[in-house]
Each structure stands twice: as C-alpha cells, then as structure tokens.
Chains A and B, each alone.
Chain A
Amino acid sequence: MSGHALARTASSIRVEAVTKSFERGVPALDAVTLDVEAGEFFTLLGPSGCGKTTLLRVLAGLEEPDTGRVEIGGRSMAGVPPHRRSVNTVFQSYALFPHRNVRQNIGFGLEMQGVPGAEIAERSQAIAGLTGIGTLLERDVAQLSGGQRQRVALARALVNEPDVLLLDEPLSALDAGLRAHLQLELKRLQRRLGMTFVFVTHDQEEAMVMSDRIAVLNAGRIAQVDTPQGVYEAPADLFVARFMGHENFVPIRQRDATGVDTAIGRLDGDFAAGSHLLLRPEAIRLDSDARQVPNRFMARVSERLYRGGTTEYRLDCGDIQLMASCANRGQPGHEVGETVEVGVSDRGTATLSD
C-alpha cells in the first residue's frame, strides 16, 4: 500500500422510533429503534419485505421517515439529502455508471465533491489496490464479471471515506464459491478500515459469518438484536428461530420446577417459560451418545442425508418430527426404518414464545 492511507473514520448510528409507510398496506418500518456502534459490522437480516432495505434507504437519505429520528455520528439527519450525508451505499444491482470506465466510476463521488484531479487519481488507485481491481481501472464496466462489478461498486463507495458504509445485499447476485470468498474479504476489509458497515441480507449464514451484531427484522419491526451466537442459540421468538434455520420445535404442555412435559415426553432440566422448546440439531444425540444425557426416548429414522462431515437424520417421535445432525466418526450410521434411542441435553435447548 503506497500513497494515501484511508482515514479511520467511523460513526455510530442511532435510529429512534422510525416509522415509514408507503401508499397502501402495512408499514414498511414500524417504530424501529436501534443503535449501531462506531466501527461495528452490523447486519439487518430478514425475509424479503421485512423492511430491511427500507431501513437502509432511510439511513442513506433515499427515503424520508414518516416519524422518528435518525442520527449519524451524533448529528440529526432530518432534512439532510443523500448527497450531503457522509454515507455511501453499495447497491444491490451495483449501479455502475455505464458511460464511465472503472476509474471514472470510482472517482465520481470525489469529483462531485470538488476534490482536485491529482488527489482523485491517487485515492482511486489506492482503493482499487485495496479491493483487488488495480489492473481493471481502464476497463469499460460492461466488460466486467459479476465479482469485479461488486468490487468496483465497493471501491466507488469506500474511496469517499464515508462515516458509514451501507451494503444492500451486495453478494446476492454472485455464485456460491465467489460469495463465500467475498464474505471473508469484506469482513477483513471492514476490520482493517475500522469503518461502520451496515449490511443487508436475507441469508442467515452470511449474516452469522460476517456480523458483529445482527438485527432480525420481521414485518417492519425489530424481532431481536444480538450477536450471531445470541441470535442463533437464544432466538427471541419462533420467527427468529425459524429464520435462523432451526427446525426442531416441540410444544410445551406444562412446566414445573424440575422440567417440562412436552409432545415427545417429559424432559428434566432447568427451562425458562415459553410455548415451545427449541432443540438444536447438534444437541440431539443418538444411541451410545444418547446415554450420556438424562433425557432419552425412542424414535424411528424416517430419512437419512449424508453430508460428508455430518449425517442428518429425520426422526419420527409420535406426531413430532425432529432433525438430528451427527458427526461422522467412521462408525456405521443408522438405516431408514431403524428405531434408535434419542437423547436431548438441556444445554442445546432454548424455550421460545410465539
């Protein structure tokens, strides 16, 4: 890295009771309140239509909230248009200017701010090196691959050294391999720059891999804000649990001091109040492993999916179907139709309400 070093700017974000409705229908954002710390990799996660993109657009200034406040770096953003905010966006479609080559695309923001040409050239070169497109500067954007476009869009935003960088599903158009690679690269870049990133995605694995904290949105409301581990292991409700990829939900019939009565039998342990018990797939143990935990019952294997490192079993336990994920350690697995002993440890569980 020679020449201009990227300044370490980072700003906190405060969103207070922001509501936004479009014509007709339910509000896209319903009294959303959240705080993003300076230098944090913060992810807005949710299914399509949950309001995560709308929230991002409110931060960018592309949408004005109906009510509520937005502060960036302690400054109110009320009435501040997008071009006066030190916030830049990596758009989902990348939105690279077709009439400009890569260098001119990257320099656009600096040019609009009246930065001298020599400095634009220097900073563009530096950021292109950092994002791995140093050799593509004179290319036409139409000649670029999907991954290259993504990098140009990233460089075009980063070169302005914004207080906050917003990323709207920037990896969703890429194939799986490239995507995993860029997730890692993006995370590293964020750590290196110490910049505040707000990242939007509908992919819970992507969110877990990249984020310091995740806000899960459901129908315009914040369902939970926590670390990836917190959101995955202690989901706030059934919606969050389902969205994080959990499948094993057992209705709780009754709860007392020593355990709970459930649809699959009594489980001893210290459980919190709630309507459902969540069993993480890795918390369900079979046969010899099952004997190490107190809560055991019998189930029938209805499906078996070999996944290399692990094998997934679908288990019928009365009306309830459970999914177990077992590490493959060289021993023969269980056949479909076989009856197995299942053990559940209370450490792999959480209680949920609707």
Chain B
Amino acid sequence: MSAGRLENGLRAFWIVLLVFLYAPLAVVVFFSFNSINSSARFAGFSLQWYEQLFRNEAIVAALTNTVVLAMVSTIIAVIIGGLLGYGFYRYRLGRLSWLVWLIYLPVIMPDIVFGIAEMTFFVAINERLGILSPGLGTMVIAHVTFQVPFVALLVNARLLSLDPQLFEACHDLYAGPWQRARFFLLPVLRPAILSSFLLALTLSIDDFVISFFTAGPQSTTLPIYIWSAIKKGVTPEVNAIATLMIGSVFLVAFFSLLVQHGPSGGRPSKGGRRA
C-alpha cells in the first residue's frame, strides 16, 4: 500500500520535473512558428520568422561568430586538454600530482567572476602592450580556458579506467614512444576525445556570461545578440533563434550519446593482485 503510494508520488514528481524542464522549451519552439508577432496567441503556422532571421545581417554575423568561436576554441581546447589529461595520468604518482586539483577550480568558479577576471586581465595587457584588444581572439582564449578542464578531466578519467598493464604490454611488444601514442593511446582515447570535443562545443555555443565580458564590438555571438534583442521584448525572431539553438544542442547531445554507447570496450581486463 505505502510502497504503491510512494511510487505514485515519485511518478508525479517525475512528471512535474519533466514539465518544468521541457514545457518552456516547447513554448519557445511552438511560438517560433507563429504567423503573428505574439507569444500569447497562436494564429497559424508560418516560417516567416526563420526567413526574416536569415535576412538579418546582424544575426547571420552573430551565428558565424558563434560557429567560428566554438570550432576554433574547441579544437585548441581538445589538443591542450588532451595532453594535460595524459600528463596528469602519466605523473599521477609524482610529487606534483596535487596540481590536478587546480584544474577543478575553473569548473566550480562562478562564470561571472571568471568573466570579469578575464576582462580585467585582457584590458590590463591591452593597455600596456597593445595586444589582445577585445574581439574573437580574446573570446577564443577565454573559451579555451574554461573548456580545457572538462577535456582534461574526461581524458584523464578514461586513462584511469584502463588497466595500467596495458601501457606496459605496449612497451613490451616493441612499440616505441610514437608508436605507443599512435597505435594505443589515440585509439583507446578516441571515445573520450570525441565526447569531450562535443561537450566543449556545446559549452562554447551556450556560453553567455564569459563571452559577454570578453567580446568586442565586432564579435557578437548568438547568446549576446539574443540578450540585447530581448531588451526590446521577446520577438518570434528570438524564438526562432532559440529553436535553432535547441535543435543544435539536441543534435550534439545525440552524437555524444552515440559515441559513448558505441563500440568502445576498454574496461580493465580481469586479473588478480600483484606479488
């Protein structure tokens, strides 16, 4: 009896949770197809806001900035973060192994603190040296900075899940340093590298706060554009941009799921203690 009631309670909670999570998104998507300029009354299906969106040069520029920023920063972050994750693994027993904890700091730091700090830092450098004026360059640096920890932690976690004797088996089986990287490390790390790539990509596309503080006049991204557009009220055009972003995030999340549940294997093989 009470077990049944608990189950019903949990089910109700689950439904409420889903409603609050997805209903607002559904409303945005729904009204993006509205034929009139209203977020209250649906008058009929239309794609006019999407057409208008792609005719708006400011939006297209913001979209381009977002994509360029996300791609460039993600590629850099995956390379640096991957090397860092491997370094932390390789020297995990060394005297400097505590350094790994420093990498968690940006993960837990509030975005606004991080964003303001980056802005102040870039301005200070710019005033003294004349380099790093606000724009896509500074945004790439800022994005790489917050993406790297996620990549490093994912790669590191994958390495820690492997049987340490695999590295020795490789060495024992005539593989030199570069061969170990090419024929062992890269293949076994492929799922972790791909999923950290997708994660870093979504983090960059989503980011508003840090982008806002490090952007220049020419480097408006979609979230920044939406924020400034919304000051004039939520237009169906904004709904349409949001819908496109929701769609792309779902797509990336779907790929990431495919990667993680695809054929990878790689749990440590069974074995006993070491004498």
Contact = CB atoms under 8 A, between A and B. Distances in A.
Interface of A: 46-50, 52-53, 60, 62, 81-84, 87-89, 91-100, 108-109, 111-113, 140-142, 146, 149, 156-157, 160, 168-169, 172-173, 200, 202
Given A93-B163, A111-B183, A146-B270, A160 B275 contact: no
Contact of A160 (B173, B187, B268): B173
B163 A95 contact: yes
30 contacts: A48-B273, A52-B275, A81-B171, A82-B171, A82-B172, A83-B173, A83-B175, A83-B176, A84-B174, A91-B168, A91-B169, A92-B165, A93-B165, A94-B271, A95-B163, A95-B168, A98-B266, A98-B269, A99-B264, A108-B173, A108-B183, A109-B173, A111-B183, A149-B270, A156-B173, A160-B173, A169-B272, A173-B271, A200-B275, A202-B275
Contact of B183 (A53, A98, A112, A160): A112
Contacts of B170: 97, 108
Interface of B: 162-163, 165-166, 168-176, 179, 183-184, 187-188, 190, 264-275
Given A146-B270, A202-B275, 10 more contacts: A62-B168, A81-B171, A82-B168, A82-B171, A93-B163, A93-B268, A97-B166, A99-B187, A112-B175, A168-B274
Please indicate which of the listed interface residues A84, A112, A113 has the most CB atoms of chain B within 10 Å of its own CB: A112
Given A91-B169, A97-B184, A49 B275 contact: yes
A179 to B, nearest CB: 12
A100 B168 CA distance: 16
B265 A142 contact: yes
Contact of A88 (B165, B166, B172): B172
A186 B24 CA distance: 67
A99 B265 contact: yes
A146 to B, nearest CB: 6
Contacts of B269: 93-96, 98, 141, 149
A149 B173 CA distance: 17
A228 B165 CA distance: 30
Contacts of B166: 95, 97-98
Given A140-B265, A142-B265, A89 B183 contact: no
B173 A88 contact: yes
B33 to A, nearest CB: 45
B261 to A, nearest CB: 14
A199 B227 CA distance: 69
B20 to A, nearest CB: 40
Contacts of B168: 60, 62, 82, 89, 91, 95
